[in-house]
Amino acid sequence: MFTIRGPGADDVAAKLCPVDVERLPEGEIRRTRVAQVAAALWRSGEGEISLVAFRSVAGYVERLLEVAAEGPRL
Q: Which of 56, 62, 10, 9 is nearest to 35 (CA)?
A: 62
Whether 48 has a pLDDT exceeding 70, the answer reads yes
Q: d(Cα 28, Cα 62) in Å, to the nearest integer? A: 22
Q: d(Cα 72, Cα 32) in Å, to the nearest integer? A: 23
**Average pLDDT value for the chain:** 92
Whether 74 has a pLDDT exceeding 70, the answer reads no
pTM of the model: 0.85
